[in-house]
Amino acid sequence: MGGWRPKHIHVSVSGGASRLITQMYVPGEPNNASDPMAILMGDAFERNIGRLRDPQTAGVEEAYDFDIVVGGKNATFFE
């Protein structure tokens, strides 16, 4: 799809001397399937898509839930 990356948000998690970086993708983005990171993640890509929720805050148009799992079977994909 033209080589464009889909909408996504970079998330950095720091602790001690370690730093992990991941990306939360927006559901329904047309370029999600062709994104190089999505292809690299394979089936794990679905876990890196935020879940749309009610913003519950005045002036906020969109809000997402995004779980970050460090380690284990269902760990978030980190760069």
Residue 62: exposed, middle, or buried by beta-carbon count in 10 A (0-12, 13-18, 19+)? Answer: exposed
pLDDT of residue 1: 47
Q: Does residue 30 carry a pLDDT above 70? A: yes
* pLDDT mean across residues, the chain: 88
Q: Which two structure tokens, joined as six digits, stand for 36? A: 């190089």
- pLDDT, tens digit, for every residue of 34-55? 999 899 999 889 999 999 999 9
pTM, rounded to two decimals: 0.79
Q: Which residues contact 5 (CB under 8 A, 6 or more apart)?
A: 31, 35
Question: Which structure tokens are listed for 69?
Answer: 């799992």
